[in-house]
């Protein structure tokens, strides 16, 4: 499906907006909408319950994704912006996060952070649904980011934000554009959801296949035996079952005292592995760090040698393994398996299948961690060395296959998101004319991907 252009266009006079339909108006946003109209007064009853929306609860694709419940007396002091249907939330701080969302049928106690500008359409001038799309168009978001000031927390004043120019079609035309976009973005969102679900299913399948390989082997015909470990179940009869404490020295990293004298660096430093660096991706090997210690700091804690298998053992992301490709220190949220007698890649794959189980065994609630005794007690099935090598080769091949499938699905999500963004921008700036658009006859059910064609922007 393609859409015509409007019969005539004019220069908007705004460089980043370009041409717009000849009959559209171009005005500052403040002439068509108000900003931050209503706030929750300080006299609010202490027991009044609010649903508080902050920046992390908002994104341009999904809108408002959550909120936190508070009594007014316990709520953050920035929980003050009152919301109503048709408003649009625009984060005025850390604008690069693109936290912009329309407000649709909110509960009366939905309150936003003062880190947002709450833009409210003026009745008879702007349609709320149209405004929600207009202020999520790429040209608008890019302009807000470009006009933000600051490095760590770039921000824009609400008064500067509503001074930006917007295109304003007739009210009936706005309603039609919003109706069109409601329909088309819902179709694209359904496709995105399906691709994201596929990615999750691929992850689950990959985990299951790898787990089977490292606990049951590659030959489904070999005799099995009870491992003696309830959660491990049966293993091939010719395999051994041991514990990491018997096949390796399990050593915790350390956090040294600050070096104090910055002149001690002089280019003489040691890589320092943190939990964040171990858990930031799914790569097997860790070849560089973003943090370092002076040599003085380095000698105050363990230096793990190249080839050491590491495991994050604290925090919400504990239970993630990595293999070092360099000599490096590690902080006390990391343990190393030194002098391990089992193949390191096989051990890596085995540990990677235990992540969730390890998190369940972790001690502590605020900052859960696995002490070295827990890690030493982890049961591990051990095949003969030739079989270990075969399993490692097979698992690497499986990982590559699943990675390729997941990448294809992720690329599909990215293209659909780009398509969605382009369609919104084209419609709200009049690059396509949807005034005569009607929903296609014979609507397909949500989730049906058969015989769909994406609309083509003319």
CATH code for the domain of 267: 3.90.220.20
Lowest mean pLDDT among 7-21, 60-74, 288-302: 288-302
Tell me, yes or no, whether 246 lies in a domain.
yes
Domain end among 382, 401, 424 = 382
Tell me, yes or no, whether 147 lies in a domain.
yes
In this prediction the pTM is: 0.79
Tell me, yes or no, whether 228 lies in a domain.
no
Assess whether 261 and 348 both reside in one domain.
Answer: yes
Give yes or no for residue 364 having a pLDDT over 60.
Answer: no
Quick one: average pLDDT of 163-179? 96
Assess whether 285 and 160 both reside in one domain.
Answer: no
Give yes or no for residue 41 having a pLDDT over 70.
Answer: yes
Which CA distances in Å does 359 have to 313, 318, 375, 394? 9, 6, 11, 27
Give yes or no for residue 117 having a pLDDT over 50.
Answer: yes
Assess whether 46 and 125 both reside in one domain.
Answer: yes
Residue 54 is predicted with a pLDDT of 95
Assess whether 371 and 244 both reside in one domain.
Answer: yes
Give yes or no for residue 458 having a pLDDT over 50.
Answer: no
pLDDT band of residue 282 (cuts 50, 70, 90) is: confident
Lowest mean pLDDT among 192-201, 254-263, 444-453: 444-453
Instruction: Quote the CA–CA distance of 50 and 107 in Å, as a whole number.
Output: 9
Tell me, yes or no, whether 304 lies in a domain.
yes
Domain end among 339, 362, 382 = 382
Q: Give the residue, 446 or 132, on which the prediction is more confident.
A: 132
Instruction: Quote the CA–CA distance of 340 and 323 in Å, as a whole number.
Output: 12
Give yes or no for residue 37 having a pLDDT over 80.
Answer: yes
Which tens digits make up the pLDDT trace of 49-99?
999 999 999 999 889 999 999 999 999 999 999 999 999 999 999 999 999
pLDDT band of residue 355 (cuts 50, 70, 90) is: confident
Which tens digits make up the pLDDT trace of 173-201?
999 999 999 999 999 999 999 999 999 99
Give yes or no for residue 19 having a pLDDT over 80.
Answer: yes
Domain end among 382, 413, 442 = 382
Assess whether 180 and 95 both reside in one domain.
Answer: no
Assess whether 434 and 407 both reside in one domain.
Answer: yes
Which CA distances in Å does 330 have to 291, 311, 409? 10, 10, 35
Please state the domain count of the chain: 3
246: Cβ contacts below 8 Å, ≥ 6 apart: none
Task: Dig out the tokens for 111 from the structure.
Answer: 């309150």
Tell me, yes or no, whether 216 lies in a domain.
no
Which tens digits make up the pLDDT trace of 206-220?
999 999 999 999 999
Which CA distances in Å does 34 have to 118, 122, 157, 170? 8, 7, 14, 18
Tell me, yes or no, whether 231 lies in a domain.
no
Residue 276 is predicted with a pLDDT of 87
Tell me, yes or no, whether 51 lies in a domain.
yes
Assess whether 250 and 320 both reside in one domain.
Answer: yes
Domain that holds residue 86: 25-168
Tell me, yes or no, whether 218 lies in a domain.
no
Instruction: Quote the CA–CA distance of 12 and 73 in Å, as a whole number.
Output: 48
Assess whether 298 and 404 both reside in one domain.
Answer: no
Assess whether 29 and 163 both reside in one domain.
Answer: yes
Q: Give the residue, 292 or 14, on which the prediction is more confident.
A: 14
Which CA distances in Å does 411 have to 11, 103, 283, 405, 419? 36, 30, 19, 10, 12
Assess whether 94 and 191 both reside in one domain.
Answer: no
Residue 259 is predicted with a pLDDT of 42
Which tens digits make up the pLDDT trace of 97-115?
999 999 999 999 999 999 9
Instruction: Quote the CA–CA distance of 147 and 163 in Å, as a whole number.
Output: 11
Assess whether 348 and 414 both reside in one domain.
Answer: no
Task: Dig out the tokens for 145 from the structure.
Answer: 């980011």
Instruction: Quote the CA–CA distance of 24 and 141 in Å, as a whole number.
Output: 21
260: Cβ contacts below 8 Å, ≥ 6 apart: none
Assess whether 159 and 176 both reside in one domain.
Answer: no
Residue 365 is predicted with a pLDDT of 55
């Amino acid at each position: 499906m393609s859409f015509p252009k409007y019969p005539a266009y004019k220069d908007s006079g705004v460089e980043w907006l370009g041409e717009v339909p000849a009959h559209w108006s171009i005005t500052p946003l403040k002439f068509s909408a108000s900003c931050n109209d209503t706030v929750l007064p300080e006299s609010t009853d202490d027991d009044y319950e609010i649903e508080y929306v902050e920046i992390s609860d908002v994104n341009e694709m999904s809108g408002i994704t959550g909120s936190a419940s508070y009594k007014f007396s316990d709520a953050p002091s920035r929980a003050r912006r009152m919301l109503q249907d048709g408003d649009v939330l625009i984060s005025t701080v850390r604008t690069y996060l693109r936290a912009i969302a329309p407000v649709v049928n909110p509960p009366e106690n939905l309150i936003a952070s003062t880190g947002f500008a709450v833009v409210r359409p003026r009745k008879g001038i702007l349609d709320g649904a149209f405004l929600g799309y207009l202020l999520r168009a790429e040209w608008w978001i890019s302009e807000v980011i470009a006009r933000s000031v600051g490095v760590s927390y770039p921000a824009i004043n609400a008064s500067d934000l509503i001074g930006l120019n917007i295109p304003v079609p007739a009210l009936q035309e706005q309603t039609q554009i919003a109706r069109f976009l409601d329909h088309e973005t819902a179709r694209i969102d359904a496709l995105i959801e399906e691709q994201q679900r596929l990615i999750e299913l691929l992850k689950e399948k990959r985990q299951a296949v790898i787990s089977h390989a490292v606990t049951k082997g590659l030959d489904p015909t070999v005799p099995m035996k009870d491992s003696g470990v309830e959660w491990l179940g049966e293993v091939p009869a010719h395999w051994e079952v041991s514990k990491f404490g018997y096949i390796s020295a399990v050593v915790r990293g350390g956090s040294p005292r600050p070096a104090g004298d910055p002149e001690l660096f002089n280019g003489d430093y040691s890589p320092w592995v943190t939990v964040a660096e171990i858990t930031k991706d799914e790569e097997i090997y860790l070849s560089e760090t973003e943090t370092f210690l002076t040599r003085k700091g380095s000698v105050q804690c363990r230096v793990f040698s190249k080839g050491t298998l590491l495991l994050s053992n604290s925090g919400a992301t504990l239970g993630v393994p990595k293999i070092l490709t360099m000599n490096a220190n590690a902080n006390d949220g990391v343990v190393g398996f030194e002098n391990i007698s089992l193949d390191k890649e096989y051990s890596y794959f085995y540990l990677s299948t235990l992540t969730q189980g390890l998190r369940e065994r972790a001690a502590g609630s605020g900052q859960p961690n696995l002490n070295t005794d827990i890690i030493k007690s982890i049961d591990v099935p051990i095949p003969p060395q030739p079989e270990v090598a075969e399993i490692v080769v097979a698992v690497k091949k499986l990982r590559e296959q699943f990675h390729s499938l997941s990448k294809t699905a992720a690329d599909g999500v990215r293209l659909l998101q780009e398509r969605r963004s382009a369609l919104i921008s084209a419609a709200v700036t009049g690059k396509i004319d949807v005034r005569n658009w009607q929903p296609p006859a014979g609507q397909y059910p949500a989730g049906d991907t058969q015989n769909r064609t994406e609309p083509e922007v003319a």
